[in-house]
Amino acid sequence: MIFFRLLVPFILMFSAQAFPALDGQALAKASFKEKMIFIEMLTMDPSDKASKVLQYWLDGELAYWPKIGGMVRNVKEGRKYVLKDLMTGKELETVVSKKITRVKTNNRLRAELKQVIGFRKIASPDVEVRYAAVLELMRQPNLELLPKLLDRELVEPDLSVNTNLSILIGLTQLESSDSFVQLEGLERITNVLSPEVKDVLNRFLLRGDLDRIVVDRAAEILVDMERQLSYWGMGQNLFYGLSLGSVLLLAAIGLAITFGVMGVINMAHGEFIMLGAYTAFVVQQFIPGTSIWSLIVAIPTAFLVSGFSGIILERSVIRHLYGRPLETLLATVGVSLILQQLVRSVFGPLNQSVITPDLLSGSLNINAAFSMTYNRIFVIIFAIIVLISLWCVMQRTTFGMRIRAVTMNRGMASSMGIPTKRMDAMAFGLGSGIAGMAGVALSQLTNVGPNLGQAYIVDSFMVVVFGGVGNLLGTVVAAFSLGVANKIIEPFSGAVLAKIFILVFIVLFIQKRPRGLFALKGRSVED
């Protein structure tokens, strides 16, 4: 076997094409040790056919077919195998297992095949293929590939691939027993904030054959990496907190309007969020979800659907229950159940998936420890736009002035000629419409289901009460404060305990400040 291994380079040297030197029958019948020689043989063959043989071998779909005296791809279907041409993929025949000899493999061969395939892909003309290949090789660095990796680094044109290739070389150099090579590898991975690299460093320090200089340098790099990872981890939690705060703001801002103007505890508010999310789902049945236009159309449509539904609810149910908070609460709970069952009857009880447009897919990667997904960035920006738009409506329009007047003193506003009942309906419609837009934003972060609104109704009331009933600034501060606090506490206590801590804090806070952070001032609100 050793003699044959030495002869392989000479066989390839004098062959016009390397692949014909491969004996399919010999490969299929070879022992696992002998198959390592065939892998080396295919490694030195740059042809596309050799690449396919390696890939099918790794996938367990390579076989020798005596009928043609060559290799084929076998795809199992039931108890039979569909044989296909290696290069064209054309179906040749369907046979039973005894008609072919499958090329078997084991864990060691699989690891070697992954290394070989990954390295071949590094030279691919496709940047994405090269990038994925480098990441694959990082999982199990192979010191034997180091010279070729160094050569590839010199000619790699893409910056991102070259950066990851340098990290791969550094991890590979740590596999060496030479202290100078190890130190060079450590310098390459300095300031690389990757949990995978951190794990490699931890394992590296457990080796017993390291020089003291190498150990000290590796420990220094590890300590610095852990410190930076903790800082970026806090930044990541802050981003998630802002994202959650934006969702809470969108969900609560409409409730703040209706609760502040009419004093109505609307337990069906969450279902208006759900209606907005399902509106986004319906819009995608007509406009492809991968197009940003589906989202652009869904936002105003959801506002109209939820807003109109809110006006109907106010006119038909809530208008007759003003001044009777308990009856209003029970009635809106009933409406909530009706809307949930209606959605189940129309769309089914299972969750529906709303496709994220291509423009919002992916993430902005600052480094390996901190990234911002585009859909969450969209939710934050969208919440800010809605907030600014609502502020302009409330502060710069006659409609907003009338709503503020009704909020401050309903009796005085009525005596001044403001139609308070119409303002109630319009305010309820505005708040419900904003809840519908919140549903569209939520559809970009999670699946859409009949119980979607129930997950946010309690949080919405907490935001409104904590910030101050009917106060827009208070709602903003409360939403972002609770969102960030929740995500900061979660890593230490878990999601459930984090919510409990927040709820206990609000209960204690309300006992000290019953009107919240920013209480509205006015004759009616002070009564």
Does residue 69 contact residue 105 with C-beta atoms inside 8 Å?
no
Indicate yes or no: pTM above 0.95. Answer: no
- Residue 520: the pLDDT is 56
Please, what sign has the CA dihedral across residues 473, 479, 482, 483? negative
CA distance linking residue 344 with residue 338, whole number of Å: 10
Residues near 517 by Cβ (< 8 Å), separated by ≥ 6? 466, 467, 468, 471, 474, 477, 478
The helix or strand, by DSSP H or E, that contains position 364, with its residue range, turns out to be strand 363-367
Residues near 19 by Cβ (< 8 Å), separated by ≥ 6? 42, 45, 47, 49, 50, 53
CA distance linking residue 405 with residue 419, whole number of Å: 11
Compute the CA torsion angle 431, 433, 434, 440 (nearest 10 deg). 150
CA distance linking residue 476 with residue 464, whole number of Å: 9
Domains of the chain and any CATH numbers:
2-108 (no CATH), 138-230 (no CATH), 236-526 (1.10.3470)
Residue ranges in the chain modelled with pLDDT below 50: 1-21, 522-527
- Residue 22: the pLDDT is 63
- Residue 278: the pLDDT is 92
Does residue 452 contact residue 439 with C-beta atoms inside 8 Å?
yes
Residues near 443 by Cβ (< 8 Å), separated by ≥ 6? 276, 277, 280, 281, 298, 354
Q: Nearest to residue 498, comparing CAs of 506, 510, 490?
A: 490
- Residue 519: the pLDDT is 63
DSSP-assigned beta bridge partners for residue 76: 81
- What end-to-end distance do the CA atoms of the chain give, in Å? 96
What are the pLDDT digits (tens) for 441-490? 988 888 888 888 887 888 888 888 888 766 778 888 888 888 888 888 88
For residue 433 the two structure tokens come to: 């419409």
- Residue 385: the pLDDT is 92
- Residue 297: the pLDDT is 92
Q: Nearest to residue 99, comparing CAs of 127, 74, 124?
A: 74
